[in-house]
């Protein structure tokens, strides 16, 4: 299995990343990736881009160095009600929205409590597309509750390469989540969360776990371009992609 779109990437607009959008696109093409989502941090995350960054993304061309670019954000859940650290008016300007929990921004709690917090965010923000790195040990949650919520609100669950490599997500957590996604036919996306251009599209560790767990390729939404394109156009009709 390979991925055709990397839906979680960072540029130097997130100050702990090291590449420009142009560099990311150059390497995406070299690594066989058709599209990337540009999803820098926003709001209260310490290295966030200013809100103007997201409101000005419309000036970027659709294709940069041969790579399709989705203009997006990685937004943080900041309270139990599932509120995000980006205004809804700004979200409406974007084409791809990842929602995450981070130690610097999000409330910790018991697994069921964390799952319900994710679900509150899904319910409150129809613009959201992906639940990013829910397998991290810092925010271990009730995966059955999370997956049922993702299906109800039509969100994708992310399997995050960077979290696997950095050991923030244990293989046990990833396998547990995949087992439940398989049980309910819940779609996932495999993304790099890349903070350096040469890593765009390189998801060998996450894909190895998926293979070992016998998770079906048909449920990996970014394993096939037409399948992914159908998903995004259903939600954002008329988008030039």
pLDDT of residue 239: 93
Residue 59 has what DSSP assignment?
Answer: G
Residue ranges for the chain with pLDDT beneath 50 = none
pLDDT of residue 174: 98
pLDDT of residue 50: 95
Q: CA 125 from chain center: how many Å? A: 15
Q: What is the mean pLDDT of the chain?
A: 97
Q: How far apart are CA 175 and CA 195, in angstroms?
A: 25
pLDDT in tens, 196-236: 999 999 999 999 999 999 999 999 999 999 999 999 999 99
Give the chain's domains with CATH numbers.
5-235 (3.20.20.140)
pLDDT of residue 33: 98
pTM assigned to the model: 0.97
Q: How far apart are CA 199 and CA 192, in angstroms?
A: 7
| Residues listed for the chain | 241
Q: Tokens in use for 92?
A: 């409406």
């Amino acid at each position: 299995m390979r991925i055709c779109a990397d839906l979680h990437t960072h540029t130097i607009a997130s100050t702990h990343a090291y590449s420009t959008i142009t560099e990311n696109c150059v390497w995406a093409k070299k690594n066989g990736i058709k599209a990337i989502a540009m999803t820098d941090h926003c709001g209260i995350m310490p290295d966030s881009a200013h809100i103007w960054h997201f409101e000005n993304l419309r000036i970027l061309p659709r294709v940069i160095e041969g790579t399709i670019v989705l203009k997006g954000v990685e937004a943080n859940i900041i309270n139990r009600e599932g509120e995000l650290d980006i205004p809804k008016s700004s979200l409406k300007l974007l084409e791809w929205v990842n929602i995450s929990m981070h130690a610097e921004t999000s409330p910790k709690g018991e697994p069921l409590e964390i799952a319900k917090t994710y679900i509150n965010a899904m319910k409150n923000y129809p613009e959201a597309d992906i639940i990013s790195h829910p397998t991290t040990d810092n925010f271990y949650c009730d995966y059955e509750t999370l997956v049922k919520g993702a299906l109800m609100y039509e969100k994708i669950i992310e399997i995050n390469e960077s979290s696997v490599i950095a050991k923030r997500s244990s293989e046990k957590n990833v396998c547990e989540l995949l087992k439940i996604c398989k049980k309910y036919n819940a779609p996932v996306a495999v993304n790099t969360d890349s903070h350096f251009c040469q890593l765009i599209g390189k998801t060998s560790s996450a894909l190895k776990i998926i293979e070992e767990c016998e998770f079906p390729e048909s449920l990996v939404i970014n394993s096939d371009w037409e399948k992914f394109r159908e998903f995004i156009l259903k939600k954002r009709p008329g988008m030039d992609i």
